[in-house]
Structure 1
Amino acid sequence: MSSFNDYVKFLTQQAVIRMDQPKEERKSKREERRAEKQSFPTQAFGIIPMGLSLFWKSRKSNKK
């Protein structure tokens, strides 16, 4: 039961910290996280999707 209390305490502390931050600061942190985050295909399959898309685009341009 103490672990649940610790978890609730942690969540409460995080909520208070977040509420004390100015809106602009929260927004800038969110934008930084989004910029650092990789796209889903890259995250799930590595560089293979990018390689396939480059191959497919070059193949289409060579046909014309």
Structure 2
Amino acid sequence: MKFQDLLKFATEEMVKKIEEPQEVRKKARAEKKAQREPLSTWAFGVLPMAFSMFKRRRQSE
């Protein structure tokens, strides 16, 4: 792909995003944020979940 083609594509995508209504952009952003994993799980894997389960079990006893 030539640089001009890449620049044209990037410009077209930017214009599409700018012309999109603000409500639609906010809704898409909120949906994407809701689907995201919590930071602790994403960064450290299953370990934080196991720790929280252990902590809950100890509190209920």
Query: Percent identity of the aligned residues?
Result: 37
What RMSD, in angstroms, separates the aligned Cα atoms of the two structures?
Answer: 1.9
Amino acid in the other structure paired with 1:18: K
User: Where in structure 1 do 4 or more consecutive aligned residues deviate above 4 Å?
Assistant: none
The TM-score with structure 1 as length reference comes to 0.73
Alpha-carbon deviations, 1:5-24, whole Å to 9, x = none? 23322221111101121111
Unmatched runs of 5 consecutive residues or more in structure 1? none
Alignment match, 1:15 = 14
CA distance in 2, matches of 1:57, 1:45: 19
Does residue 30 (structure 1) correspond to residue 7 (structure 2)? The answer is no
